[in-house]
Structure 1
Amino acid sequence: MEKEQLQKLIDKVLSGRASAQEEQELDQWYASQDAAQGFTEGLDAQGKNVLGSQLFRNIEQRIQAEEIQEAPVHQLTAPSHRKWWIAAAVVLLLGIGGFYYFNGKPAGQVLASVWQEYKTTNEVKELILPDGSRIWLNAGSGIRYDTAFVSGRREIWLQGEAYFDVAQMESKPFLVHTSHITTLVLGTAFNIDAYEPASNITVTVKDGKVAVSDSIKILTQLVANQRIICKTDGSFRKDTAISSDMMAWTSGQLVFRDMKFSEVAKRLERKFGVELIFRDASIGNCSITASFTETTTLRDILEMLALTNGSVIKTGQNPNQYFISGKKQCK
């Protein structure tokens, strides 16, 4: 098959305009190739890496979009999307020539990624992305993203917690990667808590709709006032949430609703830069429901928690270290 003919066939398959016979034709051509040497001779290693990364991200975008529209909750199976991966592999064999479909630009105009990274210590930081989306980073959090959106979509890598108010841009889906979970949106406001990726990652939606997936399947879709709590073993729980609680931290407030004392302590540590130590670990299992304004001092918060929980909180030799003890024990 001539290179030009093959390129046209690939473009048809990727754009969804190919007939079943044309898809089979591409299938058969790919199966007959051990290697297509010479097609990528004009690319250096960096060029191939950029092309491969852009290509597969866009193919994955198409697959995820189809999954959301056709079957919100099911596992991806290789046969149903084999044509995409074959086309991807073929384009890589062809080199830059097959890249028109993805970014509408000739090979020589491949964009360069410009990575930006932000981290917070004890403060909340508000950021505005190039597309107009707004992000609030909670204390002890960080994000990394490509400011040029070279992949054709807006991708964020998050550690910690962040609240997102995403600008609508249907041509460039917005994705947030957190450890083993990816959240895909088109335009919405939502919160992701990934402080403890080894245990739970929580996604809560204020407005709009998101799809949450792991490495192999879409777990569920969420709409306003819904959340999902994902565990590393692949299990998850979906329930309702109070959106005002979810975003309270963006204005400096602290809201704890039926939260373990140990988790409350971690949030206070991040916000105030201190260390809270439980003399008895079982105290950390006790449930806390409380809210504090932005101006409430750490001392006042600790005194209130001690009063409501029946515990004793004392400072150590280090002024930034507090010890929590008490008779109350929780399982």
Structure 2
Amino acid sequence: MMNNPGFNELMDKYLAGKASKAEWDELKGMINKGDADEAIKDRIDAEWDNGALETDVPFERYHEMIANIMSAESHIANIIPLKRSRRNHLRKLAIAAIMVGVLVLPFAGWWWWHAGTTKAPVAQTVPAKAADDIVEVQTKFVRLPDGSTVLLADNSRLEYNRDFNDGKREVKLWGEGYFDIKDLPGKPFVVKTGKLSTLVLGTAFNVKSSADQQQVVVTVTRGKVKVADEKNNYGVLVADQQLSVDMTTSKVAWAKVKSKEVVKWKDEFLVLDDVSLEEAAVMIGDKYHVKILFANESLKRCRIAGTFFHHQPLEKVLTIVCGVANAEYTICPNDKVILSGEGCTNQ
């Protein structure tokens, strides 16, 4: 093992969430310069061999880890290998993840690296402060234990109980979120924003609340929801309807809206939710107006999950995706991109 006490000391503090800003900057500098390549490899190998890195982690622990990882205040990070990666891709993916501040979760190959930076505009988060029976997350894309998904706007967070899927499905929202809810008969889904509750039975909708949670706006894009608080039943909304509630006066305002315009903010995100690289290529191509071609057909079978924020440059997205998929990219004239490489040979 490479003897690099300076790096190992900084990494220990970083993973423990105790690194100062100066120590975080020093560690990031080592990684960016390539001074710590061997130490990083040795560290991951050691953690893997010691069994410290689990390959089977309960679902709710992932969001708890992500909340810690994304803590800009504490400079917390975590590395969770799913399968041993090719070492020559380690530094490239690590640096890219730190630079972009994205979540990369390769379900079918390799490992998961997520890093938060102190001032990254692409991943604004706060430390998790939840009790033991609560999971609090502020990652941008959340897959709940029941299969429902939530996309959170900037400065927003979500909270739910660990027994979320055992009975009533209930979450608490601060800020704005777009929900796509899985229909489970007998298990209603409730979103709480302050004293207001939005009851769902299989639908897609947007909820936005003010900072003090006294102004709440619910917009339905698909299906229907029921909105109420402890004293009032405000009614049922269907697609393209919007309800605004002033919690201080209980005044409500109904509106017919183009829901796609209301939730247009979510189009700023590129969400790859456990898709094949072939599917990802179509989504990336549509977003960046390029045509992605494969030099190696086996690459298409690689699976990837990741969330990219706020119009990240195509090159950064491709760097992350190719780092996970053991691939390389070439940007060609006429808005074409060619993906090549061995791919996920273990799939």
Q: Say whether the fold is shared (TM-score over 0.5).
A: no
Larger Rg: 1
Structure number having the greater helix percentage? 1
